[in-house]
């Protein structure tokens, strides 16, 4: 039986996955205009980590060991997405300060 706590878990994961996919698309467009390395592909790796964590959390909802691994994958995916955003978008504050 599926617990009611699975639905908020699903919604939160899908929100982060959607945000990372939007960042990947924007990074691809701006990165090609700025002639940067295609680091935006790491966003897709972060999405895979979050999707795997979601699957693991749903399957192992009653198993604390799997939930711990899922939490670790969540943290790794979010840190990877944050790091790529920080280093890939480092040019934006300089561009905004030129005006």
Vertex 85 angle, CA 42 and 67, to 5°? 65
Share of the chain above pLDDT 70, in %: 95
DSSP state of 14: H
Average pLDDT over residues 53-68: 84
What is the rounded average pLDDT for all residues in the chain? 87
Long-range contacts of 50-57 (CB under 8 A, 24+ apart): 50/13, 50/16, 50/17, 50/20, 50/74, 50/77, 50/78, 51/13, 51/17, 53/13, 53/77, 54/9, 54/10, 54/13, 57/9, 57/13
- Provide the sign of the torsion angle of the four alpha carbons 45, 89, 86, 17, taken in this order: negative
Write down the domain spans for the chain: 14-97
Q: How confident is the model at residue 2 (pLDDT cuts 50, 70, 90)?
A: low
Cα–Cα distance, 34 to 43 (Å, whole number): 18
Helix (H, G, I), strand (E, B), or coil: what is residue 63?
coil
Whole-number pLDDT of residue 25: 93
Q: How confident is the model at residue 38 (pLDDT cuts 50, 70, 90)?
A: confident
């Amino acid at each position: 039986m599926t617990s009611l706590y699975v639905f908020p878990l699903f919604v939160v994961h899908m929100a982060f996955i959607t945000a990372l996919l939007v960042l990947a698309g924007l990074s691809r467009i701006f990165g090609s205009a700025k002639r940067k390395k295609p680091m935006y592909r790491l966003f897709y790796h972060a999405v895979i980590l979050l999707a795997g964590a979601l699957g693991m959390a749903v399957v192992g909802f009653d198993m604390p060991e799997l939930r711990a691994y899922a939490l670790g994958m969540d943290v790794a995916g979010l840190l990877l997405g944050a790091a790529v955003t920080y280093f890939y978008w480092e040019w934006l504050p300089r561009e905004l300060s030129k005006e």
